[in-house]
């Protein structure tokens, strides 16, 4: 399997992004599937709360995606990346 980048996003709140992300990361853990999780929701960082190893991405910072890019470049194994993207700014 090739590396995969999965984005969980929607412009509206309350549609289940965090619910899906938290449970999907747990699914990967339970099956010992290599993965890296990132959370860009600075208001309700649910993914990071349930999975403290998730890396926070500060999308307000011009270099905010650097941790994700560095992880993608550094990983030589097949790995899934999951990013929970915050709701659109109102």
Q: Using an 8 Å Cβ cutoff, are 18 and 37 in contact?
A: no
| Average pLDDT along the chain, 90 residues, taken 10 residues at a time | 75 84 92 87 85 89 88 67 58
Q: Which pLDDT belongs to residue 71?
A: 81
Q: Using an 8 Å Cβ cutoff, are 9 and 16 in contact?
A: no
Q: What is the DSSP letter of 41?
A: -
Q: Which pLDDT belongs to residue 85?
A: 61
């Amino acid at each position: 399997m090739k590396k995969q980048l999965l984005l969980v996003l929607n412009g509206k709140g309350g549609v289940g992004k965090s619910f899906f992300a938290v449970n999907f990361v747990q699914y990967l853990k339970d099956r010992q599937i290599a993965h890296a999780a990132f959370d860009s929701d600075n208001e309700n960082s649910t993914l990071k709360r349930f999975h403290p190893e998730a890396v926070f991405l500060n999308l307000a910072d011009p270099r905010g995606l650097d941790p994700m890019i560095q992880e993608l470049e550094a990983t030589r194994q097949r790995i899934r990346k999951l990013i929970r993207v915050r709701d659109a700014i109102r």
